[in-house]
Amino acid sequence: MKKNLLILISLMLGGLQLYAQKLEVSVQANTGLFHFAGKSSVATTQVLQGSTTGDPMNRANNPYGNKNAFSYGGSIQIQTISKSGFIVGLQGGYELLRSKAGIDKYTPIVFLVPGPYNITTNDPSFPVTGDVAFQNQSINLNPYVGYRFQLSKVNLDILPGMDIGLILDSRDKGEVKDNDGKIYKIDYKRSKAPTDIRLRLGAVASYGRYGLNASFAHGVSNYMKDVVGDASFNAHSEYFRMGLSYRLL
């Protein structure tokens, strides 16, 4: 499916270039605030001990934090502009996206009491303070259409489109501290991250070769769709970007 989508985007851009007034190629650097939304996203979660031999195996019980965290990326953008001002383009690049959740409890591995019922004597959890970030590294593709408004010497491009986030790596990152000052590090690699599809609305104000861009993207991919036992789990991404661009052509 991903391969067919990329072929379709390439054919679309190639065909429209035949009718375009001009072609523009730009490079961009962006920063932004990324978080998860949906009823299963959380402001606070707990850390689960993953190994008795090393803290880095610690992980968040629910990593999909609804607090914003600093994120960034870089991309190259190719777009065609018709004589009437309509725009068709494709942007692609690398992004590191991070959300955040607070941590209030650490749960170590439980050793069961010997006996026929295998029960624990008490709750082994204890309070901690700190934060955990859910971190995605991805290749992001942004096909879009739009329209250019001429405002004196400034061009204003309104660009609705979509993000296709091809996830390279997902992991929990952070550390927490208990009441005695002991630090527990978190660095847990997660698997089965979905392709992150987001609806996106962007705008670019450009003067000469330089541009200021902003966009908001609302995710439609459910990161918790594979949770067994309850189809109501839902957590999707949201990302606000701002950045600068420089037009090469």
Where residue 28 sits, what CATH number does that domain have?
Answer: 2.40.160
Question: Is residue 3 in a domain?
Answer: no
Give the per-residue pLDDT at 137.
96
Check if the beta carbon of residue 76 is closer than 8 Å to that of residue 25.
Answer: yes
Check if the beta carbon of residue 179 is closer than 8 Å to that of residue 213.
Answer: no
Give the per-residue pLDDT at 54.
56
Give the per-residue pLDDT at 56.
60
| Count of structural domains, the chain | 1
Question: Is residue 1 in a domain?
Answer: no
Question: Is residue 13 in a domain?
Answer: no
- CA angle 18/85/93 to nearest 5° reads 70
Give the model confidence (pLDDT) of 133-179 as tens digits: 999 999 999 999 999 999 889 999 999 999 999 999 999 999 999 99
Question: Is residue 14 in a domain?
Answer: no
Question: Is residue 5 in a domain?
Answer: no
Per-residue buried b or exposed e for 185-207, using 16+ beta carbons within 10 Å of the residue's own CB: bbbbebeebbebbbebebbbebe
pLDDT tens, N- to C-terminus, the chain (249 residues): 556 555 555 555 555 555 557 899 999 999 999 999 999 999 999 999 876 665 567 999 999 999 999 999 999 999 999 989 999 999 999 999 999 999 999 998 765 555 555 555 567 889 999 999 999 999 999 999 999 999 889 999 999 999 999 999 999 999 999 999 999 999 999 887 789 999 999 999 999 999 999 999 999 999 988 765 566 889 999 999 999 999 998
Question: Can you tell me the distance from the alpha carbon of 145 to that of 81, in angstroms, rounded to the nearest whole number?
Answer: 10
Give the per-residue pLDDT at 21.
75
Question: Can you tell me the distance from the alpha carbon of 106 to that of 129, in angstroms, rounded to the nearest whole number?
Answer: 9
Question: Can you tell me the distance from the alpha carbon of 155 to that of 147, in angstroms, rounded to the nearest whole number?
Answer: 10
Question: Is residue 100 in a domain?
Answer: yes
Question: Is residue 11 in a domain?
Answer: no
Give the per-residue pLDDT at 193.
78
Full residue range of the structural domain in which residue 107 is found: 20-247
Give the per-residue pLDDT at 183.
92
Question: Is residue 168 in a domain?
Answer: yes
Give the per-residue pLDDT at 13.
52
